[in-house]
Amino acid sequence: MFPPSTRRLLALAVALPSLVCAGFVPLHDFHDHSPSPTIAKHLPPGTKWYHPRDHPAHRLFARQATNNSTGSFPSVGSPAWSAAYPTTTPDSSQLPQAWVNALNEAVQAGKIPNIPPSTLVNGNPTYPSGYDPLGSQVCSGTYKCRNPDDIWDAPEGILGSGFDDGPTEFSPTLYSFLKNNSVKATHFMIGINILWNPTAFEQAYVTNGDDIAVHTYTHPYMTTLSNIDLVAQFGWTMQILYDSTAGKVPRYWRPPYGDTDERVRAIALEVFGLTTIVWNQDTEDWSLTTGGTTMQAINQSMTQWLTGTKSPGLIILEHELSAESVQAYMDAYPVMIQNGWKLQSVSEIQDGQPFRSDGGILDVNDSVGATSSTTSSSATSSSSSTSASSSHPASTTGTSSTLRSSATGTVGATHQSSAGSRWPISSALLACVAGLFFTLA
Ligand SMILES: [Zn+2]
């Protein structure tokens, strides 16, 4: 129904691919792939938003520290740090060999379903004839197919706190509010937004001690990408997170627009060890600035959900994309508390049960190479009855120096990809156009 991410198109139009992979060295084979869903279900639950140090995915991101003699990571926001990451859609022809090898091994091992990428037809990811998006072979999240290994619901009585598309210029207000109210949240971050907003990233990660998850590098419809382009989107987001957290490898990702399928899920999990977290309610707060929903409509929806059934619990799609979306959360917060919801970060939810325990593995200040407990992660999840909207915002940040110089370098565009969308096409198109102007404002 609409075009893909406005920002991505702009990026493709105006930006030169620029990869500066300072210090990368080809790594050896990546034999121990991330836990398969079958295996993971039998492992003890993990304890953190990131994998333990002995998880094989670490091999993809560990590198010889050539930036200084101490082997430490460059300071977040420093020139050496900034120079190490793509400033636009990552160039998949210039990836670290370890990532390419890991993909090739997973494909050769038969772990990556051989289904074609979708193509955007009137803005909707569409598969070739013979590939049913609701069938088990494809199982598209856009079409509301629930893979049982994805996380859609929270346990009874629990509200999973999570925010997409940060860090942005509007994030600090949210982060301060969360900290002042002792709310632990998961931030599904866009890689390039971290690059443009390092101070806000540090506030979420260091000051708040919040959980960080992957929301891709430039926020594309992931099912439209080739295998190697998927590797680029996952890999670079995880690399900037790894380098910015003294070597932590995140365990979770959320697909932009909720757009995932069996191939994308498999690459996320088998190559990178990422489990998919979706949502079961959508405020559509991403459209507040583009003529979509209104604060009143969000308040009504929130009141309905928060005063309704607690089984299953709630995972509400919310954003740190605009002042308005942040305000919508802050307005709803008292209602959450008044109605007795237990708030947890989304990444504390696993297999229908909260998994955070006292068995911490690493602290924020842990150094690279520290040994950890052998606690293994689990990739299981529950799947239950609450319907999910597949509408979802798009947001990327400045993907070129030109775009970066506009506003503050972090902008969002709105879209909706769902085949079962609740939004009129005309409104959505209007929102996209409005989003473009907003982006360039
Ligand atoms: Zn998003």
Residue of 149, 150, 153, 164 marked catalytic = 164
Q: Categorize the per-residue pLDDT at 347 as very low, low, confident or very high, splitting at 50, 70 and 90.
A: confident
Residue 163 pairs in a beta bridge with 187
Is 13 a residue whose pLDDT tops 80?
no
Angle between helices 6-14 and 425-440 (to 10 degrees): 50
What is the structure's pLDDT at 20? 28
CA distance 352 to 362: 24
| Annotation marks residue 219 as catalytic | no
What is the structure's pLDDT at 325? 95
Is 17 a residue whose pLDDT tops 70?
no
Cis ω for the linkage preceding 312 (within 30 of 0) = yes
Q: Categorize the per-residue pLDDT at 113 as very low, low, confident or very high, splitting at 50, 70 and 90.
A: very high
What is the structure's pLDDT at 303? 95
392 CA from centroid of ligand 1 (Å): 6
Average pLDDT over residues 327-349: 93
Percent of the chain with pLDDT strictly greater than 70: 67
134 CA from centroid of ligand 1 (Å): 22
Which is more confident, 353 or 249? Answer: 249
C-alpha closest to that of 123 among 229, 22, 1, 8: 1
CA distance 112 to 103: 9
Average pLDDT over residues 51-72: 76
364 CA from centroid of ligand 1 (Å): 26
220 CA from centroid of ligand 1 (Å): 9
C-alpha closest to that of 217 among 188, 190, 185, 245: 190
Which is more confident, 440 or 69? Answer: 69
Mean pLDDT score of the chain? 75
| Annotation marks residue 153 as catalytic | no
Q: Categorize the per-residue pLDDT at 372 as very low, low, confident or very high, splitting at 50, 70 and 90.
A: very low
Could you give the C-alpha distances from 365 to 73, 206, 361, in angstroms and in order? 12, 9, 12
397 CA from centroid of ligand 1 (Å): 11
359 CA from centroid of ligand 1 (Å): 31
Query: Tell me: the pLDDT tens digits for 399-438?
Result: 332 222 223 344 333 333 333 332 222 333 333 333 333 3
What is the structure's pLDDT at 366? 29
What is the structure's pLDDT at 189? 98
17 CA from centroid of ligand 1 (Å): 22
Is 71 a residue whose pLDDT tops 90?
no
356 CA from centroid of ligand 1 (Å): 25
CA distance 4 to 220: 7
In the chain, where are the structural domains located? Answer: 6-440
395 CA from centroid of ligand 1 (Å): 6
Could you give the C-alpha distances from 275 to 19, 38, 127, 345, 376, in angstroms and in order? 27, 13, 23, 15, 14
What CATH number is given for 6-440 in this structure? 3.20.20.370
42 CA from centroid of ligand 1 (Å): 31
Q: Which residues surround ligand 1, an ion (CB under 5 A)?
A: 164-165, 256
Residue of 33, 58, 187, 319 marked catalytic = 319
What is the structure's pLDDT at 384? 32
